[in-house]
Structure 1
Amino acid sequence: MQCAEVSGLSDELPRDVGSLFSDTYTEENRYRFCGQELRITQHFGANLGVAAPVWDAALYLCRYFEEQKMNFKEKKIIELGAGTGIVGILVSLLGGRVTVTDLPHALPQIRKNVSVNVSSDHIPNVSALSWGIDQVHFPQDYDLVLGADIVYLKETYDLLIQTLQHLCGPQTTIFLSSKMRKEHGTVDFFQNILPQYFNVEIVKRDSEDDINIYKVTRFQN
């Protein structure tokens, strides 16, 4: 379980994202999952916006991996929209060969957290990936594709689908953990859009915090 949580942050995304991050400051929190202690720095400010915090859906996904005792050793893994990088860092510490991605402005925060937490042979590769554009520069044979709270902007949903289609091979499993924000179309994405392209299954739900974890795989011919 986690050792500490970010306090004072709403898990709801305001329409004016900058209003939530109008003050600039840095905060470090410690978390513990799967026997690993993680030190995660968050750089709050308008520059990073929603990429700054550790969102509850990311912690929920880490806890799910702990509960399932999932084996990541030598698996080829990519995380989308990583933000602080907490999910990718944990999976890397558990033996995965991880690529952590986000938009360019978020990469310095991710690299900082990677450098603090990972010093093994499995240091994650940190790369920019703009959905719908950059996925063609990445391979198509990942064992796992991960994403935590990346489904909240309707205008990005088609781009995310394109990216998942490219990254997801016949043997790939996608895990998406998401706060179910109806006003942002999140529910519609998972119930109506994503199932047009993939098999979609809820594997864990937190009804109190309204967070779902979905297991997603390609249709088999």
Structure 2
Amino acid sequence: MKTMDSFLKDISWKYLRMYPLKDIIWKDITDTLVNFEHDESVSFQENFLTNTVQHPIAKRFPPTTSYARLFLKSFIEQIEGSNQEVCEDVYLVYTDLITQSVSLSTDLCYRTYRLQPDCVLTIKETRKLISDGTTGLYTWEAGHVLAEWCSENKPLFRNKRVLELGSGLGLMGLAVIKICEPASYIFTDLPTTVLTTLAENVKINLESDTTNEVSSICDWTDGMDTSYNHTKVNVRRLNWEQDSCDITTDIILAADVVYDPAIVNCLVDTLKTALNNSPASVAIVACTLRNSDTLAFFKDVLTKEKVKISWETQRQHQESPSWPQSIVSLLQLSL
């Protein structure tokens, strides 16, 4: 097994991310505890709590109560399976979780992603693929893949103006802002529920006051402006069907926006307009390969509108061993 410190750090990030419980190697805990004396066992259990359910991030931005309950229940089962006594603190925290009511009024929860050692992002999102009639309240595979690609190519973004189409909850954009140091970053989307949650995620991750609770943004109005280090950040509504994209930018990013043939023509029109605003600009679009016909249609419309595909590459993404593996196609577009 890993060293104790690395094991606790690993389990900590898994908990904060709400990693599937069935993919956590619980046997490592049993194998560790079975060799401990009583005092060592108590110390380990207390450290485990400190690094998971009682982690400072978890206290401020907790995973769902149901996940925390099942997580601690699994931990208790490992303690008992190793013939150790469950310490009082573990029981107290578990009992408190059992007595907490589970809110049925919202599907939203917090997940904290550690994309790099110095890039940790807490995202308010839903566990449902579709919520409030939109797919924008869920963090999709292509966003993770494009965030990874951008971090690998961060010199391309330094001091550049970046526009994102279909930003969703902001994971990719927040990663680019924190890792790549662009001059400006504009998040755009359409549904009010998505924009409201996106603005809250920007506030959580980019605004410097971490001592107080982040106030919920109850209603979306006309936009949101803030800054992070030297990056100007803006969140705004953009309707591909009705709005003219008047934003001058160097790089356009879009992840998981090619999923419905009905919106492809509007998407391509918006991409072409944004590229036209600055002749040297490029677009990077990440498409999860769910339906080959939809991607082929997207490419056909690009060709028809004389938008060039400069290059295309594919990457694989898998959330955890029990999740299906996704293939994500990355395309660079230009005029």
After superposition, give the CA deviation of every residue in 1:149-201 in whole Å (9 maximum; x if it has no partner).
Answer: 001111111111111111113111100001122266123213x2223321114
Residue identity in the other structure for 1:42: E
1:33–1:62: 8 Å Cα contact kept in structure 2?
no
Residue aligned with 2:326, SS: coil
Between Structure 1 and Structure 2, how many residues are aligned? 200
Residue aligned with 1:135, SS: coil
Alignment of 1:17-166 (within 5 A): 24-33=107-116, 35-44=118-127, 46-47=131-132, 49-93=134-178, 94-96=180-182, 97-105=184-192, 106-119=194-207, 120-121=228-229, 122-136=231-245, 138-139=246-247, 141-166=248-273
Residue identity in the other structure for 1:61: L
After superposition, give the CA deviation of every residue in 1:46-84 in whole Å (9 maximum; x if it has no partner).
Answer: 316310111110000011122234442221111010111
Pair 1:212–1:102, CA change in 2 (3 A): same
Residue identity in the other structure for 1:216: L
**Which is richer in helix?**
2
Instruction: Give, in whole Å, the separation in 2 of the partners of 1:113 and 1:25.
Output: 12
Instruction: Give, in whole Å, the separation in 1 of the partners of 2:18 and 2:327.
Output: 18
Residue matched to 1:12? none
Residue matched to 1:18? none
Instruction: Give, in whole Å, the separation in 2 of the partners of 1:163 and 1:25.
Output: 30
Please provide the CA RMSD for this pair: 2.5
Residue matched to 2:213? none
Instruction: Give, in whole Å, the separation in 1 of the partners of 2:309 and 2:254.
Output: 14
Between the aligned residues of both structures, percent identity stands at 21
Instruction: Give, in whole Å, the separation in 2 of the partners of 1:88 and 1:81.
Output: 11
Residue matched to 1:11? none
Instruction: Give, in whole Å, the separation in 2 of the partners of 1:57 and 1:35.
Output: 22
1:173–1:215: 8 Å Cα contact kept in structure 2?
yes
2:112–2:120: 8 Å Cα contact kept in structure 1?
no
2:287–2:328: 8 Å Cα contact kept in structure 1?
yes
**TM (normalized to structure 1)?**
0.80
RCO comparison, higher one (Cα < 8 Å, 6+): 1
Deviation of 1:37 after TM superposition, in Å, equals: 1.6
Gapped regions of structure 2 (runs ≥ 5): 1-12, 21-105, 208-227, 317-324
Residue matched to 1:13? none
